[in-house]
Amino acid sequence: MSSKISKLILLLAVLLSLAGRGFAAAAIGSFTITGMEQLSGSTWDTGVVTVTINGLSVGYSYGQFSTPASIASALGALISNYCGYPVYAQANGATLTFYQRGTNAISSASITLASNNPSSLFPSPSFLISGVPSLYAPVITALSLSEGPPTMGLQITGANFGAQGSVSIGGVPATIIAWTPGAPGTPDSITVQIPPGLAPGTIAPVNVTTWTINIGQQFTFKVDAPLPCN
């Protein structure tokens, strides 16, 4: 009996380890596959869905019996079992969610879907990708001010900020006043309030984090003495 219990405990430990493998970290983005497999005459549409991150590509070939959920599941398994890949992936139905693997930073990412058949045979794709995540690391290009007192507003301009995230100044979380993704070809911007309590004269690094991707120190802000009350 004790031998059986020991084996059950060992099996449970392995299953828990596998279940949590790579998914303890916060999600860094997801996309959803829509559509359905098409038939033209006696020919089924075939093609490849490819996920490329940091120049490493993982592709899955779809065909006659493919569904959005089966494609997402297959890609998730291929990505998670690719030991050198910078992310893990997990499918929930037709949605595939990415999770950062260790401390890997994302420098480039793309998701493509291409049919092997001529457009005259299948004028529209069998499957589509929606909600493609912005996995690129955010980049700060400018600050509206280089110094100022606590509680003053500060606008951070840059790219790849996405739709949500956090900002810290001198390691202290800053209150978000506005988070505005830019239109195509225009920069993103975030307006924050300089955190109270930072000591005057502090040269404070400004950091933007989207999902779990942190840009590190690119700009600093000099904290001045608080404004006197009237």
pLDDT of residue 63: 94
165-216 confidence digits (pLDDT tens): 789 999 999 999 998 877 767 888 999 999 998 999 999 999 887 754 444 4
In this prediction the pTM is 0.55
Q: How many whole angstroms separate alpha carbon 35 and alpha carbon 140?
A: 37
Full set of structural domains in the chain with CATH? 17-130 (3.30.70), 139-223 (2.60.40.10)
| Per-residue pLDDT tens digits for 77-133 | 999 999 889 889 999 999 998 887 877 777 677 788 888 988 888 888 899 887 655
Predicted confidence (pLDDT) per residue in 33-70, tens digit: 999 999 999 999 999 999 888 889 999 999 999 999 99
pLDDT of residue 21: 47
